[in-house]
Amino acid sequence: MDQKKEEYISSYISKLLRKKFGRGPQSCQTTVSKNHLVTYIRGFLSPMEDILLEYGQNKYVDHARGVIITHLLDEIKGVVQVTLDVEVVDYYHDWNFPNNSGVLIFVLDNEAGEEYKADVDIQRLENEISRLSLLVEKVPDKVHIFPISSSICLIERTGILIQIEKALIEKGFEKELRYTKDELEKKYFHRDGRFGDIFHKSVMDMFIDWNFKEDKSLMAVILRS
C-alpha cells in the first residue's frame, strides 16, 4: 500500500470532521490491509459534545454524532473508492467517549493492501470471542479474525442476534438496541476479556459496531505498540 494514499485519506477525514464539527481530531491514522481500511481517530470532541458529556448526556451525544458521521461516511466512502480504486461494500464506526477516540472501518471488495502476518494464536482468540459473546447473547455462528497491523486487529462475528433482538429490530427499536448492546458488550469484553494474554500486549481501545440487517458485527481492538 502506498503510504501517501493512507496519509491523504487521513488528512481528508480530519479536514472533513473539522469542517462539520468545528474542531478537528488531534490525530487521524489510516491503515489498509487486504480488504479493510481502518482509520483510528483520537482527541475529537466538539465544544458542545464536551459540555453534554460533562452533564452525563452520553446517549444524546452518541446519537447526534452517529447521525452526522453516518451522513459523512457516504462522502468518505467516495474518497476511499477513488483513492484506492476499489468499491466499499460495507462500513462501520464507533466512538469511545471516555478515551476521546473513535474508529471508521471500510470493507473493500478487492484487496488494496498487503496482508499483515500477526504473531497471535488465532484459534485461542476465536474461542475467547465466542466465550465472551455467550455471556451477553450467544456464541456467533462464525468468527473471523483480520490482523490489520501490529496495533490493530479486526474481529468479525456473524450470526449473533438472538430472537428477542430480532423482534426489537422489527418493531423499530434498532437505535435503543444498538446503544444498549454497545454498553453491555464493551463492559464484558473490557472486564472479562483475556486479550492481554492472547496478544501479549495491553489493550488501549476497543470498538464495536453492528450490521443488524446482515446479523453481523465488526470489532476493532487497538493495542499498545
Q: What is the SS3 assignment for the chain?
A: CCHHHHHHHHHHHHHHHHHHHCCCCCEEEEEEECCEEEEEEECCCCHHHHHHHHCCCHHHHHHHHHHHHHHHHHHHHHHHHHHHCCCEEEEEEEEECCCCEEEEEEEECCCCCCCCCCCCCHHHHHHHHHHHHHHHCCCCCEEEEEECCCCEEEEEEECCCCHHHHHHHHCCCHHHHHHHHHHHHHHHHHHHCCHHHHHCCCEEEEEEEEEHHHCEEEEEEEECC
Q: How far is residue 176's CA from residue 167's CA, in Å, rounded to a whole number? A: 13
- Are 106 and 80 in contact, with CB atoms under 8 Å apart? yes
Q: What is the mean pLDDT of residues 12-41?
A: 93
Strand order in the sheet with 142-147: 142-147, 152-158, 216-223, 203-211
Q: How far is residue 27's CA from residue 40's CA, in Å, rounded to a whole number? A: 8
Q: What is the mean pLDDT of residues 137-154?
A: 96
Per-residue model confidence as pLDDT tens digits over 156-195: 999 999 999 999 999 999 989 998 999 899 999 988 999 9
- Are 161 and 137 in contact, with CB atoms under 8 Å apart? yes
Q: How far is residue 170's CA from residue 166's CA, in Å, rounded to a whole number? A: 6
First to last CA, the chain: 20
- Please report the pLDDT score of residue 1 as a whole number: 61
- Please report the pLDDT score of residue 44 as a whole number: 87
Q: What is the mean pLDDT of residues 109-115?
A: 91
- Please report the pLDDT score of residue 164 as a whole number: 95
Residue 100 one-letter amino acid: N
Closest CA to 97 of 159, 43, 39: 43
Closest CA to 105 of 71, 156, 59: 156
Per-residue model confidence as pLDDT tens digits over 32-77: 999 999 999 999 888 888 898 888 888 888 888 888 898 899 999 9
Domain extents for the chain? 3-108, 122-223
Cross-strand bridge partners of residue 218: 156, 209
Q: How far is residue 12's CA from residue 37's CA, in Å, rounded to a whole number? A: 14
Q: How confident is the model at residue 24 (pLDDT cuts 50, 70, 90)?
A: confident
